[in-house]
Amino acid sequence: MAIKFNVHEIGSNIEPTAPKKFYLRPINSGEKTLDDLATDISHSCSLTESDVYAVLQSLVREIPRAISDGYIVRLGNLGSFRMSVNSTGSAKKEDVSELNVHKRRLIFHPSKQMKKELDKVCFEKKISPYK
């Protein structure tokens, strides 16, 4: 199945006088929750929905724990998670501390296999009932 998209006209912030261009914007079909994923996964393996949910909940607990210990978390063919920060600069090396951190971010890098699967995704223009 294809991901539906809308078309949006957007102008340039850098050159406001430049002609506007049209861009594709994907339309979300909704959400898949942890419960939904547990149900879907349980139908394709010998584990019960409860077992799958327990494993997924454990991942939710363990990933931040490992990240906070300074590890990159690699989840095989899924990809990896790592911590990144934005910080303010200091004039002297010895003045740099945790207080310089103003934003923490969790970065996800999909695996090669995940990227290959995402490259197969097709897009379909949403037909508007209005002209």
Distance from C-alpha of 29 to C-alpha of 121, rounded to nearest angstrom: 14
Digit-coded pLDDT (tens) for 28-68: 999 999 999 999 999 999 999 999 999 999 999 999 999 99
1 domain-assigned: no
Examine residue 57 and state whether it is found in any structural domain, yes or no.
Answer: yes
Q: Is residue 103 part of a domain?
A: no
CA distance 22 to 18: 13
**Any domain includes 44:** yes
Is 112 domain-assigned? no
From CA 83, how far away is CA 107, in angstroms rounded?
6
Residue 37: inside a domain, yes or no?
yes
What does the pLDDT read at residue 126? 87
How much is the pLDDT for 51?
96
The pTM (predicted TM-score) of the whole model is 0.76
Q: Is residue 78 part of a domain?
A: no
Confidence of residue 130 (pLDDT cuts 50, 70, 90): low
Asked whether 101 and 85 are in contact (CB, 8 A), the reply is yes
100: nearest Cα among 91, 111, 109: 91
50 domain residue, yes or no: yes
Report pLDDT for 71.
98
- Supply the range of the domain harboring residue 58: 31-70
Total domains in the chain come to 1
